[in-house]
Chain A
Amino acid sequence: MIEVRGLAKSFGGLRVVEAASFAARDGEITGLIGPNGAGKTTLFRLIGTVLRPDRGAILVDGIDAQRDTIGARRRLGVLPDVRGLYPRLTAREHLRYFGALHGLYGRDLNARIAELAATLNMGDFIERRARGFSRGQQMKVALGRALIHRPHNIMLDEPTNGLDVATSRAVRDLLRRLRGEGRCILLTSHIMQEVAALADRIVILAGGHVVLDGTPAELRRATGLDDLEEIFMATTQDGWAEPALAAGQ
């Protein structure tokens, strides 16, 4: 479970995230959505422990990420928007590298790589170097890298960005399977239909604030609107007042 409490972050006087609070629960997919510049990437980086918050706390399975950063990272698997692969390493070497960083070696690591290669259908390119990989292949390697240590909490930034229909569907199926295993999944996406189809809980971020947070039903109730896209548009425009019911609480 990922809990964000009163998180704030500024860059050179510009407040990017302000008093953001929400929770992503185990066995659920939490969708984090917001317009460009809403602070999603910063929030992602804060939870991923590569940025330090000015205020507030991040708890990963109860571990304070600021006090025990390494402990929090052990329980997190992150797929960033920029996949950041090494062009001269093969897909297998990427998985082996990140496995080693998590303390996995030898037979355990090889077994885990074989398992991921089968799950993510990487068989035909696992021995190939990453230079020239398609976006789908890049995403699979980056996802495999994030899952190598069987993290309980998985964060995905735009997981289906630039993927074809079949690969996007495979990713969605995988996320549902991971949710079925009781893992906590936090994802961002610009595709409203995808969030609507996947997310058990939705957090809408605008101007660095959490403007709405709840299940799709709670969001519909709070806004009086049926369609997620309509809800998104209504809540992220200026003048939207956060409903008193603090959805989801």
Chain B
Amino acid sequence: MTISAAFAVFRKEMTDHLRDRRSILIAMIYPMMGPLLLGLMFCFVGGSMQHGVGGAQGGPLVVPVVHPESAPALMRYLERRDVDLEPVAADARRFVKGGRLAFALILPAHAAAANAPLPVRLIANPSRFDAIVATGRIIEMLNDYQRATLRARLRAAGVPAALMNVLAISRENVGRAAGPSVILLSMIPPFLIFTLFTGGVHVLLDATCGERERGSFEPLMMNPVTRTDVLSGKLGATIVFTLMALAAQVVAFWIMLHAVPRASLGLAVPPGAWRLILVVSVCLPLVFLATATQLLISGVTRSMKEAQTYLGLLPLIPGLAGMVLALAPVDARPLLAAIPTFGQTVLMGQLVRSEFVGGGFIAITAVATLATTALLLYVGFRLYDREEILFPQ
């Protein structure tokens, strides 16, 4: 390989694509979508999941109640627990079904007979995040009320109230991230993976399939350069654009994590700059893997359109694995580390959630990904050795 020739190709591709609106859009604007979307989710979904209906944490929980007059003691108890009672008409069920209310507490029209249980019905629409959290909170309060009432009754009957307790449960959260924000933070890796596989894709496609379709590959290869020189220059430019996209997205995520209200984030401390630098380091082998995969696909497809079809689907495969991991995290096992993109997704998830990250796991992930990249590059370069690859179909 001639370094000067490869550099000439690299410089040309950089000049060319820094002027190309599509390349810039994909490398610099598309990566903003992830942080923007996640920021909105943190503010709205994260906030409502954390606090339920009724605004900020510690603020009153608004509870729509049908027939509050039939259980005045319960209503007083709830009001003491900072609940805003909102009497609603008897057809509250229709309101919940229709989406006008997230949930409603339905009491019978008349008070229960002495020592008979009061039938209490909670109607909720669990497809609403705010309903999940709010009903959780109201059920907890109803159970507390039940226990407090029972304790008072036992005391009145001369039975020690301590007999009620079989277990003394306490909970300690050792993660730095807490609450539903953990799920949202775990969605950062799939977004990063998606960007890695899309950031430089247009540059590579235009520099290979586009070059072929324009008919410029033929005059280019009539110069005293090898295909390795030319492809190295093109891969270099693709890597730079992918890194630009990655950097843009990581910075945007950092800004988002510090810009969203801390209360909605549900985090003690958002991941710091050092953690995000580690995330980028973990991603670096994937930059090469993504570029090698794109080269391979551009080599087997017959046109830019065909390549775009496949390369549009490609990021979904590792991205989907990341989405699954966001909802069902797995243990960091060495076997998983050896699966390119999957290992990185696990690692990045641990990093953004500020969990412990093993050095061995990082090493296995990097080596396995780079070995796969070398194999893909070998096949990709071989594909570009074919004569017909230079000419428009």
Q: Mark B17-28, 1 if CB is under 8 A from A, else 0.
A: 001100000000
- Tell me which residues from 44 to 74 in chain A have a Cβ below 8 Å from any Cβ of chain B: 45, 48-52, 70-71, 73-74
B214 touching A89, Cβ below 8 Å = no
Interface presence of B144 (CB below 8 A): no
A102 touching B20, Cβ below 8 Å = no
Q: Which of B80-88, B217-225, B293-301 contacts A (4 or more CB under 8 A)?
A: B217-225
A101 touching B8, Cβ below 8 Å = yes
> Closest B-chain residue to A86, C-beta based?
B16
* Interchain nearest-CB distance for B225 vs A (Å): 6
B218 touching A70, Cβ below 8 Å = no
From A48, A50, A83, A102, B224 is in contact (CB under 8 Å) with A102
The answer to whether A101 and B216 touch (CB under 8 A), given A50-B222, A88-B20, is no
Interface presence of A80 (CB below 8 A): yes
Residues of A within 8 A of B368 (CB): none
Q: Mark A113-129, 1 if CB is under 8 A from B, else 0.
A: 00000000000000001
Q: Mark A82-122, 1 if CB is under 8 A from B, else 0.
A: 11111011000100011011110000000000000000000
How far is B226's CA from A74's CA once the two chains are assembled, in angstroms?
Answer: 12
The answer to whether A100 and B16 touch (CB under 8 A), given A70-B224, A73-B222, is no
A103 touching B4, Cβ below 8 Å = yes
Interface presence of A212 (CB below 8 A): no
A78 touching B219, Cβ below 8 Å = yes
Interface presence of A76 (CB below 8 A): yes
> Closest A-chain residue to B4, C-beta based?
A103
A101 touching B219, Cβ below 8 Å = no
Interface presence of A201 (CB below 8 A): no
Q: Mark B214-240, 1 if CB is under 8 A from A, else 0.
A: 111111111111100000000000000
How far is B26's CA from A126's CA once the two chains are assembled, in angstroms?
Answer: 30
Residues of B within 8 A of A89 (CB): 12, 15-16
* Interchain nearest-CB distance for A94 vs B (Å): 9
> Closest A-chain residue to B211, C-beta based?
A84
Interface presence of A145 (CB below 8 A): yes
| Residues of A in contact with B, size category | 20 to 34
* Interchain nearest-CB distance for A66 vs B (Å): 13
> Closest A-chain residue to B390, C-beta based?
A50
Interface presence of B71 (CB below 8 A): no
A145 touching B226, Cβ below 8 Å = no
Listed residue (B20, B223, B224, B226) with the most chain A CB atoms within 10 angstroms of its CB: B223
Interface presence of B331 (CB below 8 A): no
The answer to whether A48 and B8 touch (CB under 8 A), given A84-B214, A88-B16, is no
* Interchain nearest-CB distance for A103 vs B (Å): 7
B4 touching A49, Cβ below 8 Å = no
B390 touching A101, Cβ below 8 Å = no
How far is B12's CA from A208's CA once the two chains are assembled, in angstroms?
Answer: 37
Residues of A within 8 A of B138 (CB): none
Residues of A within 8 A of B225 (CB): 70, 73, 101
A50 touching B221, Cβ below 8 Å = yes
Interface presence of B172 (CB below 8 A): no
The answer to whether A102 and B219 touch (CB under 8 A), given A88-B20, A89-B12, A89-B16, is no
Q: Mark B179-219, 1 if CB is under 8 A from A, else 0.
A: 00000000000000000000000000000000000111111
> Closest A-chain residue to B8, C-beta based?
A100
How far is B225's CA from A152's CA once the two chains are assembled, in angstroms?
Answer: 18
A–B Cβ pairs within 8 angstroms, 25 of them: A45-B218, A50-B221, A50-B387, A50-B390, A70-B224, A71-B224, A73-B223, A73-B225, A74-B224, A80-B218, A82-B215, A84-B218, A86-B12, A88-B19, A101-B8, A101-B9, A101-B220, A101-B223, A101-B224, A102-B223, A102-B224, A103-B4, A129-B19, A142-B219, A145-B219
Beyond the given pairs A70-B225, A102-B224, 9 more chain A to chain B contacts, judged by CB atoms under 8 angstroms and listed by A's residue number, are A45-B218, A52-B387, A73-B224, A73-B225, A76-B222, A88-B20, A89-B15, A89-B16, A97-B12
Which B positions have Cβ atoms within 8 angstroms of A?
4-5, 8-9, 11-12, 15-16, 19-20, 214-226, 387, 390, 392
